[in-house]
Structures are given as structure tokens and as C-alpha cells.
Amino acid sequence: MIAFARSYIIKGYGIRGRKEKILDLYSMLCKHISVDRDIQELDRLVVEDIRGEFERIDGIRLVNQAKVLRAMQEEGLAENHFAGTTGYGYGDTGRDVTDRVFARVFGGEDALVRVQMVSGTHALTTCFRAVLRPGDTVLSVTGKPYDTLEEVLGIRGNAPGNLKQFGITYRQVDLKDGRIDLEAVADKLDYSVKLILMQRSTGYDWRPALSIEDIKKAVEYIKELKSDVYFMVDNCYGEFLEEREPLEVGVDIAAGSLIKNPGGGIALTGGYIVGKKELVARAAAALTAPGLGKECGATLGITRSFLQGLFLAPHVVAEAVKGAVYASRIFERLGFPVSPGYRDRRSDIIQSIKFNSKEQLLSFCRGIQKGAPVDSFVTPYPWDMPGYGHQVVMAAGAFVQGSSIELSADAPIREPYYGYLQGGLTWDHMRLGVLITLQQMKNEGHIALIPS
């Protein structure tokens, strides 16, 4: 199927001379990447449209940069902290300082930032293991959790060691019009509910991300009804999108991946958990062993990249958000449904785009791959990724394998054909990646622009 651009009108350029300047920019650009005139014109219009959004993004960036800077200063970060340890990793002051810096930045009493956490799923699983005991119930109040957590919780399949096998029950309350359905939550709160799970980001869904204000309201409401319950947030893709983080509004424990937002594109692997001191201690015991807790875990010289990544993260996230705003508007102008809209408030870096067919979605992914600095020559195909219940296509040519703070797109192969676009270490890269993608989709006959 072909999506036609809504006809767009070339507005008067106002000041003469500006037009020549812009034409000059595109002629210089086309020395390096080939983009048809109609796509250039679309780019020009979209950049005009979104200019007003950047001020707010820059404001959030500045506040978060200040937060990170202050945390590093107050913890007395010093050169010797980057040295790293081997073996057991006893007495690793760099590791300890990293934990404390993360705790400050994310508003927790303590944190666990470890190269030994292999992914976001692992960090989140470690939180479950920390909090839940046989007989307990975990209640997700944001509907179905992220795909990989379905296997962890035992909602799908029967993977060895899933939580169901340990006598832990899972229940959920679906979102209502994209918001937490507090009345339905009240109905499901019984004595067995030990943990309330909230997912901040959209995941493979079509909904706005959960805002910090929404999280705050849910915590306050539920605490009124039941005080002996813990709140956990899956913070993947949400870090640094707002001036506050979930722990600052009453959440007890949160976790995420270092190859997403908080690693700033620099961290090579790893995950983090932040939360109440007691829960972080239990998470450390779950990650290593009871009795070992936080005392073990060699850093192998990776501490510098964790902290440098965190330092850059507010900036890199702002770049990714600008790129997402741009992508939102450009695909909207081409007639595709998008979520969020370019003017909407955001609480994650994801831009969802609804395509008309599997072929159109795959063409989009081929385009994103073509725009990557690494592996730009490969063709992404759908495959059975571990942890997912359906085929997934991933377009990523990243410096860090699977890093989705770098420009990347992914999509489950199922109807409706939603594509999820995120990242871009610089917003220029997102812009170029999208232009290359549109050219690819046009060449393959999946979009047609109507030149004004």
C-alpha cells in the first residue's frame, strides 16, 4: 500500500536570501547522501514545524545535567575511582561511588550498577527476585508488561525458574484510555499483593508513556488503600525525559538498562537498580548470593564508561527526543498515524509509527539500517529473538550491540504493523537516518510524495 503525503504548501520564504541559503544547505548535503527534492522540501517544512518544541527539551536537559554534575561532585568522584578491579572485586571504591552517584541522580537511597547485569530484563528480574517471595502477588497496573517479562513472570511459556514456579502469582489491570485505571486497581488489591508494577515506556504498544505525574497519582491513591505494598517502575527508555524520576514521587524500586538512556551511548553493557536501601540490598543478594550482596563484583575497568556515559546521558537523551519529535512530524505529514504527536509531552524516547502492511514496515526498517554508521550494508529480517513470543525485526547498526539509545527501529511482526523508532546519539543522525529511510521507502514504492 502507498501512503500519500498530505499536500503541503510551500510558504513564502519571507526574507529573500534565506531560500538560497537553504538550497545551498541541501546541495552541500546531497554531496554526501542523495535525497530527492520532494524529501528535502518535506524536511525543511518539518524542521520549521518543530523548532518551538526544542526549548522545552533543552530546559529538561539542563536540569538533568545539573543533577548529574552535582551528584558526581557531592560523591567526590576522582580519577582513582576509574581503576577497576578483577576477581571478586572486593573493595572496589569506583563501583561503590558509581552506586552512590546513581542513587543520587535517580532519587534512591541506594543503587546497584553492575556490568554483571546482562540487560534491562535481567535488572528487572533481579528486582522481582528481591521483593517477591512464595505466596506473593505482583500486580501490573499498566497492562501487559514488556514482552521479555512475560516469560520471567510465567505469563507465557514455562521457562525454567520463572516466578510462577516459585509460587508467585501475576495479575494485571489494563490501562483505560492510556491511563492507569485506579478504580479497577482498587478492586484487585488484596492481602497477597506485595508489588505494584508500572511500566513507564510504551513497550510494543500504542499508548502514551506514563508520566511522572501519573506515577505519583497512582502511588498516592494505592498507598491510601494499602500501605504494605511496594511500588516498582520499569524505567527503561524513561530516564531523563522529565525533571524528576520515579523514586522522587514515592516509588520504592526502579531499574533499567545501561545500553539505553542512562549509559549515554558510552556504557558497553550493564544494568542498574535504584531504590530503598533494604530493597537494593535484597537485589544485590539476588544478583550475587545471600551473604555476598554488594561486596562482590569486579568492574574490570568499565567504571569510567559507566560514569562518562551517565554524564553525557541528559544531553544524548535530549538529542534522541529531538529526533523523535522530528520523526513524529515527518511521518505525520506523510499521512501515517504516529504516537506521540510532535507537540505531545514525552516520558520515553520511543516514536511509534503505524504502517499499512508488513512490507511497508520492513521497508522502513531497511531504511533505518541503511542510515546506520555500522552494518549499513546489511538487510534486517524478522527473527525469533529469545524472550519474545513472536518474530521481531530489528534495525540497528550500533557501536554497541543492540544499543537502542543509538538510532534503531524494531517491531513485532504482527498486526497492526507498528514500528518503533528510537535513539540517535545526535539528533542530526536521526534526521539523516529518517531522510535516508524516506528515500529508501520511496525507491521501493512504499511512499509517494506529492511535490507542491
Ligand X SMILES: *Cc1c(COP(=O)(O)O)cnc(C)c1O
Task: Please give the residue ranges that form the binding site for ligand X (CB under 6 A).
Answer: 119-121, 146, 148, 199, 201, 203, 234, 236-237, 257
Residue whose CB is less far from ligand X, 121 or 339: 121
**Backbone phi, psi, residue 132, to 5°:** -90, 140
Q: Decide whether 199 or 303 has the Cβ nearer to ligand X.
A: 199
Q: Pick between residue 267 and residue 330 the one whose CB is nearest to ligand X.
A: 267
| Minimum gap (Å) between residue 236 Cβ and ligand X | 3
* Shorter beta-carbon distance to ligand X: residue 43 or 147: 147
Please state the closest distance from residue 234 (CB atom) to ligand X, in A. Answer: 5
Nearest distance, CB of residue 305 and ligand X, angstroms: 17
Q: Minimum Å distance from CB 253 to ligand X?
A: 14
Q: Which three cell numbers stand for residue 174?
A: 489494563
Q: Of 115 and 435, which CB lies nearer to ligand X in the complex structure? A: 115
> Min. distance of Cβ 71 from ligand X in angstroms?
23
Say how many Å lie between the first and final Cα of the chain, rounded.
22
425 sits in the region (left: phi over 0; alpha: psi -120 to 50; else beta) called alpha
Q: What burial letters (b/e) apply to 252-277, b meaning 16+ CB within 10 Å?
A: bbbbbbbbbbbbbbbbbbbbbbbbbe
Q: Which is nearer to ligand X, 108 or 120 (CB)?
A: 120
Alpha-carbon gap, residue 302 to 94, rounded angstroms? 10
Q: How far is the CB of 418 from ligand X (least distance, A)?
A: 14
Query: Could you tell me which residues are beta bridge partners of residue 197?
Result: 140, 232
Of 403, 402, 407, 410, nearest in space to 425 by CA? 407
Whether residue 138 contacts residue 167, with contact meaning beta carbons closer than 8 Å, is answered with no
Q: Which is nearer to ligand X, 144 or 217 (CB)?
A: 144
Grid coordinates 494485571 are at which residue? 172
Residue written as grid cell 543503587? 111
Q: Which residue is nearest to ligand X (CB)?
A: 120
Shorter beta-carbon distance to ligand X: residue 328 or 404: 404
Lookup: cell for 191: 492481602
User: Is residue 141 a contact partner of residue 309, using CB atoms and an 8 Å limit?
Assistant: no
Measured CA to CA in angstroms, residue 112 lies from 82, 100, 275 at distances of: 17, 9, 9
Q: How far is the CB of 364 from ligand X (least distance, A)?
A: 19
Kindly tell me which of 71 and 233 has the beta carbon lying closer to ligand X: 233
Please state the separation of Cα 272 from the chain's center in Å.
14
Minimum Å gap between C-beta 145 and ligand X is: 7
Cβ 251 to ligand X, closest distance in Å? 15
Rounded Cα distance between 357 and 452, Å, is: 27
Distance CA 228, CA 231 (A): 10
Query: Could you write out the three-class secondary structure of 362-404?
Result: HHHHHHHHHCCCCCCCCCCCCECCCCCCCCEEEEECCCCCCCC
CB of 156 to ligand X, least distance (A): 15
Closer residue to ligand X in complex, CB, 97/241: 241
CB of 172 to ligand X, least distance (A): 15
Q: Which of 429, 373, 436, 367 is nearest to 400 (CA)?
A: 373
Q: Which is nearer to ligand X, 257 or 288 (CB)?
A: 257
Say whether the peptide bond before residue 134 is cis (omega within 30 degrees of 0): no
